[in-house]
Amino acid sequence: MAQYLVTGGAGFIGSHLAEELLRRGERVRVVDSLITGKRENLAHLPQVEFIEGDLAEPGVATRAMSGVDYVLHQAAIPSVPRSVEDPITSNRANVDATLNVLVAARDAKVKRLVYAGSSSAYGNAATLPKVETMVPAPLSPYALQKLVAEQYCEMFTRLYGLETVTTRYFNVFGPRQDPSSPYSGVISVFISALCQGRAPTIHGDGGQTRDFTYVANVVDGVLRACQAPSASGETINVATGGRISLNQLFEVIRDLVGADVAVKHGDVRAGDVRDSQADISKARRILNYEPIVSFEEGLKRTVAWYRASTLTVA
């Protein structure tokens, strides 16, 4: 039984990691500022040791790190548009806090730190799918911050011998993703709007594409990255490997929900990437990773979850 620290563990992806770790019999400590995370995401996991704290504040990371074997660093303000509106707050959460976590992990001599990187680092690379050897081209403060933090991880591996791995996520979705903020992930926004019979807005012409990844795949990829012998110092895409346009996404969700609603189109969002699709051959090679839940199946499970939680709230 190992001790894991999940930063941002009260958030969407972090709470799924905590759940799977407990299922595997590991010990889980969560540190979360509750800026975007929610206590209720962990309500079904009473075994979790919870520390409320902002990792950008001095001392919080050091306290959280005591006795830790593995760190899954998920804490972030995960939004492109929020970073465009307020780059300073977003930098504090995404870069300053990461540096504090890395220093504390180095000093506590943890076995490995896995960092939640982002596909946004690729920007509008000229070719698809996006492969880790491409030169990054961030288009938003969020993308740049995620890239800086992953480069800090690599540097800590080279400079101090701290084992780190960056898993670059591609548009993760699933149960517990919060649809209620203007910065929420598009799938949560579309499902919750359509379940209530409201028309969602597509930013731009809807021809932009994404490699939407069901959260169980990400959990599997991250836990593999924690153990894979040759993963330290590497950046690895974790995704499904397909892509779908926003227009198609809207139609698939509308059919699943059974809503009779037309879509609205709004302005293109500043900092938006046009197309995103991952090459997952490095994950296959180094992590022995293979997507375990398809996009279609993941979407069905997610719609079912939102339906059930809407019923509970009503």
Query: Rounded to the nearest whole angstrom, what is the least distance from the CB of residue 171 to ligand UD1 in the complex?
Result: 5
Residue number of the CB closest to ligand UD1 reads 120
- Show the binding pattern over residues 5-44: x = contacts ligand UD1 (CB under 6 A), - = does not: ----------------------------------------
> Where are the strands (E) in 134-221, listed by range?
164-169, 172-173, 201-203, 209-210, 213-214
Of the residues 5, 56, 68, 80, which one makes contact with ligand UD1 according to CB under 6 A: 80
> Going by DSSP bridges, is the β-strand pair 209-210/164-169 parallel, antiparallel, or unpaired?
unpaired
Which residue has 């926004």 as its token pair?
A: 189
Residue number with CB closer to ligand UD1 (13 or 162): 13
Query: Helix (H, G, I), strand (E, B), or coil: what is residue 113?
Result: strand
Instruction: Put the strands of the sheet holding 164-169 in their side by side order.
Output: 49-52, 27-32, 3-7, 70-73, 112-118, 164-169, 235-238
Note whether 9 and 42 are within 8 A (CB): yes
* 131 burial via Cβ count (<10 Å: 0-12, 13-18, 19+): middle
Query: Helix (H, G, I), strand (E, B), or coil: what is residue 116?
Result: strand
Q: Which has the closest alpha carbon to 231: 189, 303, 297, 285? A: 285
Report the C-alpha gap between 298 and 314 in whole angstroms: 24
Note whether 171 and 210 are within 8 A (CB): yes
Residue number with CB closer to ligand UD1 (156 or 190): 190
The β-bridge partners of 130 are: 278
| H-helix or E-strand spanning residue 245 | strand 244-245
- Interface of this chain with ligand UD1, residues 230 to 249, rule: CB under 6 A: 246
The reply on whether position 75 binds ligand UD1 by CB under 6 A is no
- Give yes or no: 70 in active site: no
- Interface of this chain with ligand UD1, residues 191 to 210, rule: CB under 6 A: 200-203, 208, 210
Query: Rounded to the nearest whole angstrom, what is the least distance from the CB of residue 54 to ligand UD1 in the complex?
Result: 20
The reply on whether position 186 binds ligand UD1 by CB under 6 A is yes
Of the residues 78, 129, 241, 298, which one makes contact with ligand UD1 according to CB under 6 A: 78
- Show the binding pattern over residues 88-107: x = contacts ligand UD1 (CB under 6 A), - = does not: --------------------
- Interface of this chain with ligand UD1, residues 125 to 164, rule: CB under 6 A: none
Residue number with CB closer to ligand UD1 (181 or 310): 181
Report the C-alpha gap between 12 and 27 in whole angstroms: 19
Which residue has 């790190």 as its token pair?
A: 65
- Show the binding pattern over residues 248-287: x = contacts ligand UD1 (CB under 6 A), - = does not: ---------------------x--xx--x-----------
- Binding-site size for ligand UD1 (CB under 6 A) equals 23
Residue number with CB closer to ligand UD1 (110 or 136): 136
Which residue has 């919060």 as its token pair?
A: 178
| H-helix or E-strand spanning residue 305 | helix 295-313
The reply on whether position 120 binds ligand UD1 by CB under 6 A is yes
Binding region for ligand UD1 (CB under 6 A) out of 21-29, 93-101, 182-190, 295-303: 182-190
Query: Rounded to the nearest whole angstrom, what is the least distance from the CB of residue 167 to ligand UD1 in the complex?
Result: 11
- Cis omega (within 30 of 0) for bond into 129: yes
Query: Rounded to the nearest whole angstrom, what is the least distance from the CB of residue 207 to ligand UD1 in the complex?
Result: 10
Q: Of these residues, 4, 115, 122, 142, which one is catalytic?
A: 142
Contacts with ligand UD1 by CB under 6 A lie at 78-80, 118-120, 169-171, 185-186, 189, 200-203, 208, 210, 246, 269, 272-273, 276
